[in-house]
A and B are shown apart, each in its own frame.
Chain A
Amino acid sequence: MLLTSILLLPLLGALIVLALPASLRVLHRTIAITVTGIAAILSLFLLLGYQGGIQGYQFIHEIPWVPSIGLNYRVGVDGINLGLVIMAAWVSFAAVLVSYEIRQKEKLYYFLLLLMCGGVIGTFASLDMIFFYAMHELALIPTFIMIGIWGRGEKKVYSAFQMAIYLSIGAMMVLAGIICLYAAGGAQTFDMEKLAGIYSQNPMPISLQKWILPLLLFGFGILVGLVPFHSWAPAAYTSAPSAAAMIHAGVLKKFGLYGIVRLILPIMPQTLQPWMEILVIMALINAIYCGLIAIRQKCFAQMISYSSLSHVGFIFLGIAVLNSIGLTGAIFLMIAHGFLAALLFALNGRIYQQIGNTSMDSISGLMQKMPFIGMILSATLMAGCGLPFFGNFVGEFMIFFGTWQSHYSWPTALAVFTGLIISAVYMLRAIRRILHGNLSSIASTAIDAENTWRKLPFILLMIALISIGTYPIILTNKIKDPVNNTLEPVISLTMPDTTNSDSSK
């Protein structure tokens, strides 16, 4: 029930906003803040109530939906999605809080935004593949409309359509894959848990796996922005209003990664290995290539979009190495990166709102005008280049260790190189250009966050980022058991030696 109420609150709020007349502007915002705030606070009870060491999902709430085809509303969390749900709830709250920049068509805006919030929370809470998919789409479409109506820049139409088409391709591949999973085993259920159980009992035929695995993998890959299917991301994030970019880049993009962990790893272990080796390379390309591109960007929004893609590369890497350290790191990094990307896009939005563009050539010395924003921005960028005590570091180093453990020596070296140097190059460059140096004329009218309400979203996200960075065990202890369960079939199949040596240690 707790999960259901967390994910229904924003949707309910959306309906209320829709029902109210458009003239009650303040009310729309108040409702949005209230519902997402309550959802965010409720999500903390998940953390408190979660009991470690128990197999399977907790907080399960199940409603028969279409029993005839094995489709049920079923939500629940285990260690893997617990953090993601909480992250989604808090980022949603922050996204609503930064939305004061919207001054027109507020009703429609908050309606769409709340749909998005409900969608992202629901995506990660769902244990049913169709709900999982549908919630993602529910959050996706508002992004498109929001870019169109409240977006920025001249290319917004193009970006919005590019994003819509790209993501539809990905989503359709995922949908096809999901239906294949449903149909292939004769299980006739969309329940992830049951499905994993069924396929572990009698594995899916290899001839089918050969098709379904790449279909799902690349479908999810497109949704996440796996190079070369990433062009939508920078364009869309640059054009999107802050809240949409925050939720999309921060939370929604993790859908694909989460999907790989949930649907591919436990269900198709037999054909996994060669694809994961390819994925390691693709992940590295993502990290390095996008990192290098980020160095060249003139626009801050573009830079953080590419940096976000680069970080996603690390997450892919953590998944692809197929061991518990790497995967735990990947999931941890998903959460950390969610907060980080949300922060970056919120800050980008604030700067855009104050100055009117985010070109790093024309803005400088902003620290003098916006000490608070500047402080948060530099902390966030530092977090982005993997500074300890921010969540990203923890995730990244676990991924490095995991990569090494799977005997990928060069990938480890390259990943470390990228994580430590390339990311530092572009992040520091941004600080240098935007915050340091002389105050440029264009930035002279900028004002800092005026009051606590304006500061709140940044503070909340920053606290989240730091607290998981300083006290990671609160999440990792919950993540690692389900991760081991997820990897169990893979490891027992592909690396019998490793399991033995692990247990001996």
Chain B
Amino acid sequence: MTIILFGILFLPIFSALSITFFSQKHPSISAGISIAISCITFLLTCVLCAMTQSQTLPIEIVYTWLSVGNLSVDLGFLVDRLSLIMLFVVTGVGSLIHIYSKGYMGKDPSLSRYFASLSIFMFSMIGIVLANNFLMIFIFWEMVGLSSYLLIGFWMTKGSAADAAKKAFLCNRIGDTGFLLGIILVWSCLGTLRFGEISNLLSTNPAAFSSLATITGLLLLCGVIGKSAQFPLHVWLPDAMEGPTPVSALIHAATMVAAGVYLLARGFDIFALSAAWPQGLDWLKFSTLDVIATIGAFTALMAALIAVQQNDIKRILAYSTLSQLGYMVMAIGLSYPIAAMYHLTTHAFFKALLFLGAGSVIVALHHEQNIWKMGGLQKRMPITFWTFLIATLALCGIPPLSGFFSKDYIVAEALHKNAYLGTIALVTAFLTTFYMGRLFFVSFIGRTRSKVSDHAKENSTIITMPLILLAIASVFAGFIGIDSYLMPHYSSQSLANTNMVFPYPSIDQAPDNWFKMLIYPFKHAPMAAILSICAVIAGGFLSFIFYFNAKNDILSSKFKTVSLWLKNRLYFDELYQNSAVWLQDKLALICDFIDRWIIGGIIIGIIYRIVDLIGRFCRFSQTGNIQTYTAIFVLGIIVLSYWVINW
């Protein structure tokens, strides 16, 4: 067990190191190492799953990494259902994307660097998943930030890529500031950072945080906002599409951005605490979960809206990712972590598939990303077309594809708990179908819109094979019972007081065959299921009208202002540029001015000049005239004797 865990965690970094030191000049060997190791980690994950079937979870293996005073940080592995499922997603999707990358990036001269960075990413992501304490999560949290930075800026000679990488890292850092403070608060209030101990403590004494509960939750949430690109730190994710497409698929769609959701699920005990504010702030009545739900819903809606008017295929998908992440966060906010994790898993499959499909198109079209220059790919790239279609449908939530189930749980919960959030969820579902329909109809259906798309050809097996595998996963992920697998993780714990509505009252009542599963949403919350299907149909229909065989975007010509705002992503970048960045720049300017001129120039200059001046002045008493000297000599004697005698 320990060996397997160590293997899963450290094999990828071993791969990164060996690529860096030994095979930097041999790209194919590097690719081989990296792919092999990611596949091995996947196999090891399977072995781990199999082993844990017979054991009681969670299993915790702990080594001390650091211990000073009452601060103790572990290198610890926490194996429970939550981490297993996440691990499965990360290594599974990761391996496929590794393979895909070989096809996609094959000719790049810095392939070794690419695979090394990818391995670092795998290492860090697995670290987040397996971590048993907050600080270890934070460490790997930062490390995924690094690998994201490296991979977004992979084509670093391109200014935009380098800038995007920087932006991504900084936005993450802003979130992490809160995250680290939150961790410090957790530690100072509870005295431990281990998840297991935290939930035990909180279940015995929910008031352990006293008045700091909500603040702690919100600070931890900052980390999530940064990593999962929730509003207001969502701006980095669309820019991150400057990176290679497999990276976008792996990091910025399937796994890393979902880490925020994973953290929310992991630390749910803290987030689920009821509202408690310190004195002076107690007029703020809301709890952490309220904030989480609101942010999630808002992000879902906003991103979906922006996606409607984007033209870059990857950017549309990026906003779609934002929107779906918003769903997941909202699900947590509705105290429904199982649904969030469920959606996370299915989303990982179909969104990775969408990105990889997009990547396949991009390769075929020689790095053309504008959807208005594509079109007519149905016949030219059949495998890509069909897999992309499956993924689109899954994303939109057409039963019986996986997306339907996971999304439906969230919509149902939202409608059940809060009508506003429910409405937002439904509207977002509608918008999702609309923009995905737009994307699909414009880029795949109809006639070709440019020369490059005329010459498009289907890619080789190494690219299509992962597509097919992921398509299979996207179709069937709804039936394999991810939700019921996760349920024991939560039901036993302190969630009783958060009035969480489970899809199944207990594990025994879970549907036991695929048909029951298929119809379960209709049985469980028929209203929500029907409404969401209606939204999907409406969205699909509308996009069919607008965009089937369309020559240009009708929306942007009809609603110019709205379209402009949406195209410009609601001017968030400009806003930040003109507020935060401006402020920071001016502060720096002031400090620099003070340092350069006031401290460095005036103060030091004055002191120096004064001393120098006194020196020059004293020097003039040396007149060169002996009689002056004698006079001073005698004067000195007179003064001294006068003073001594009159003492």
A328 to B188, CA, bound (A): 18
Q: Closest residue of chain B to A235, judged by CB?
A: B600
Let me know if B170 and A394 touch, CB within 8 A: no
Q: Closest residue of chain A to B13, judged by CB?
A: A389
Let me know if B68 and A387 touch, CB within 8 A: no
Let me know if A412 and B181 touch, CB within 8 A: yes
Q: Closest residue of chain A to B592, judged by CB?
A: A296
Contact A420-B176, Cβ < 8 Å, known A436-B156, A436-B162, A473-B67: yes
* B613 adjacent to chain A (CB < 8 Å): no
Let me know if A438 and B157 touch, CB within 8 A: yes
Residue-wise, chain B 166-179 has the 8 Å CB interface mask toward A (1 for contact) of 10011001101100
Interface residues of B in 482-537 (CB under 8 A from A): none
* B604 adjacent to chain A (CB < 8 Å): yes
CB distance from A449 to the nearest CB of B (A): 14
| Chain A residues with CB below 8 A from B176, complex form | 420
Pick from A235, A365, A382: contact of B146, CB below 8 A.
A382
* B606 adjacent to chain A (CB < 8 Å): no
Interface size class of A (residues with CB under 8 A): 35 or more
A387 to B135, CA, bound (A): 13
Let me know if A438 and B71 touch, CB within 8 A: no
DSSP class of A's interface residues: helix, strand, loop or mixed? Answer: helix
| Chain A residues with CB below 8 A from B588, complex form | 292-293, 295-296
| Chain A residues with CB below 8 A from B173, complex form | 385, 420-421, 424
Let me know if A436 and B157 touch, CB within 8 A: yes
Let me know if B589 and A296 touch, CB within 8 A: yes
Interface residues of B in 143-158 (CB under 8 A from A): 143, 146, 153, 156-157
* B69 adjacent to chain A (CB < 8 Å): yes
Q: Closest residue of chain A to B116, judged by CB?
A: A375
Pick from A328, A385, A473: contact of B69, CB below 8 A.
A328
* A476 adjacent to chain B (CB < 8 Å): yes
* A273 adjacent to chain B (CB < 8 Å): no
A227 to B599, CA, bound (A): 10
CB distance from A453 to the nearest CB of B (A): 18
Interface residues of A in 416-450 (CB under 8 A from B): 416-417, 420-421, 424-425, 428-429, 431-432, 435-439
Let me know if B71 and A398 touch, CB within 8 A: yes
| Chain B residues with CB below 8 A from A297, complex form | 592
Residue-wise, chain B 443-463 has the 8 Å CB interface mask toward A (1 for contact) of 000000000000000000000
Contact A424-B170, Cβ < 8 Å, known A292-B591, A389-B143: yes
* A505 adjacent to chain B (CB < 8 Å): yes
Interface residues of A in 316-349 (CB under 8 A from B): 323-325, 328-329
* A352 adjacent to chain B (CB < 8 Å): no
Contact A162-B604, Cβ < 8 Å, known A404-B188, A438-B159, A476-B66: yes
* A388 adjacent to chain B (CB < 8 Å): yes
Residue-wise, chain B 610-623 has the 8 Å CB interface mask toward A (1 for contact) of 00000000000000
Let me know if B177 and A437 touch, CB within 8 A: no
A469 to B137, CA, bound (A): 16
Let me know if B600 and A231 touch, CB within 8 A: yes
Interface residues of B in 64-93 (CB under 8 A from A): 64-71
* A49 adjacent to chain B (CB < 8 Å): no
* B163 adjacent to chain A (CB < 8 Å): yes
CB distance from B618 to the nearest CB of A (A): 19
Let me know if A476 and B69 touch, CB within 8 A: no
A368 to B158, CA, bound (A): 12
* B423 adjacent to chain A (CB < 8 Å): no
Let me know if A425 and B584 touch, CB within 8 A: yes
A417 to B174, CA, bound (A): 8
| Chain B residues with CB below 8 A from A388, complex form | 138-140, 142-143
A24 to B170, CA, bound (A): 51
* A228 adjacent to chain B (CB < 8 Å): yes
Residue-wise, chain A 272-310 has the 8 Å CB interface mask toward B (1 for contact) of 000000000000000001001101110000000000000
Contact A502-B142, Cβ < 8 Å, known A296-B592, A413-B181: no
Let me know if B65 and A425 touch, CB within 8 A: no
CB distance from B333 to the nearest CB of A (A): 25
Contact A505-B191, Cβ < 8 Å, known A292-B591, A387-B142: yes
CB distance from A286 to the nearest CB of B (A): 12
Q: Closest residue of chain A to B185, judged by CB?
A: A404
CB distance from A52 to the nearest CB of B (A): 12
Pick from B64, B181, B185, B191: contact of A473, CB below 8 A.
B64
Let me know if B184 and A367 touch, CB within 8 A: no
CB distance from B160 to the nearest CB of A (A): 10
Let me know if A428 and B169 touch, CB within 8 A: yes
* A405 adjacent to chain B (CB < 8 Å): yes
| Chain B residues with CB below 8 A from A293, complex form | 588, 591-592, 595
Residue-wise, chain A 392-403 has the 8 Å CB interface mask toward B (1 for contact) of 011001101100
A401 to B193, CA, bound (A): 12
Contact A417-B169, Cβ < 8 Å, known A398-B68, A436-B162, A437-B157: no
Residue-wise, chain A 404-415 has the 8 Å CB interface mask toward B (1 for contact) of 110000001100
* A472 adjacent to chain B (CB < 8 Å): yes
* A152 adjacent to chain B (CB < 8 Å): no
A240 to B156, CA, bound (A): 31
A228 to B600, CA, bound (A): 9
| Chain A residues with CB below 8 A from B135, complex form | 397
A145 to B526, CA, bound (A): 84
Contact A394-B66, Cβ < 8 Å, known A389-B139, A401-B71, A435-B156: yes
Report which residue of A367, A388, A421, A432 has the largest number of chain B beta carbons within 10 angstroms of its beta carbon: A388
Let me know if A480 and B170 touch, CB within 8 A: no
A420 to B67, CA, bound (A): 22
Contact A295-B584, Cβ < 8 Å, known A404-B184, A417-B177, A480-B68: yes
Q: Closest residue of chain A to B162, judged by CB?
A: A436
Let me know if A428 and B170 touch, CB within 8 A: yes
A398 to B585, CA, bound (A): 29
Residue-wise, chain A 461-490 has the 8 Å CB interface mask toward B (1 for contact) of 000000000001100110110000000000
A323 to B163, CA, bound (A): 40
CB distance from B404 to the nearest CB of A (A): 39
Contact A425-B170, Cβ < 8 Å, known A398-B68, A437-B162: yes
CB distance from A383 to the nearest CB of B (A): 11
Q: Closest residue of chain B to A374, judged by CB?
A: B156
Let me know if A432 and B170 touch, CB within 8 A: no
* B638 adjacent to chain A (CB < 8 Å): no
Let me know if B180 and A397 touch, CB within 8 A: yes
| Chain A residues with CB below 8 A from B187, complex form | 401
Let me know if A231 and B68 touch, CB within 8 A: no
Let me know if A502 and B166 touch, CB within 8 A: no
Q: Closest residue of chain A to B175, judged by CB?
A: A420
CB distance from B355 to the nearest CB of A (A): 24
A424 to B180, CA, bound (A): 15
Report which residue of B69, B142, B185, B587 has the largest number of chain A beta carbons within 10 angstroms of its beta carbon: B69
A429 to B170, CA, bound (A): 11
| Chain B residues with CB below 8 A from A473, complex form | 64-67
CB distance from B262 to the nearest CB of A (A): 18
22 A-B interface contacts by CB (under 8 A) = A292-B587, A292-B591, A323-B69, A325-B71, A328-B69, A365-B157, A387-B142, A387-B143, A397-B180, A398-B71, A400-B184, A420-B177, A425-B170, A428-B166, A428-B170, A429-B166, A435-B156, A436-B162, A439-B157, A473-B66, A479-B68, A480-B68
Closest 7 CB pairs of A and B: A436-B162, A388-B139, A436-B156, A296-B592, A295-B588, A292-B591, A292-B588
Given A296-B592, A436-B153, A502-B70, 4 new contacts (CB under 8 A): A385-B173, A398-B66, A405-B188, A472-B66
B residues lining the A interface (CB < 8 Å): 20, 64-71, 135, 138-140, 142-143, 146, 153, 156-157, 159, 162-163, 166, 169-170, 173-174, 176-177, 180-181, 184-185, 187-188, 191, 584-585, 587-589, 591-592, 595, 599-600, 603-604
A residues lining the B interface (CB < 8 Å): 162, 228, 231, 235, 289, 292-293, 295-297, 323-325, 328-329, 365, 367-368, 375, 382, 385-389, 393-394, 397-398, 400-401, 404-405, 412-413, 416-417, 420-421, 424-425, 428-429, 431-432, 435-439, 472-473, 476-477, 479-480, 502, 505
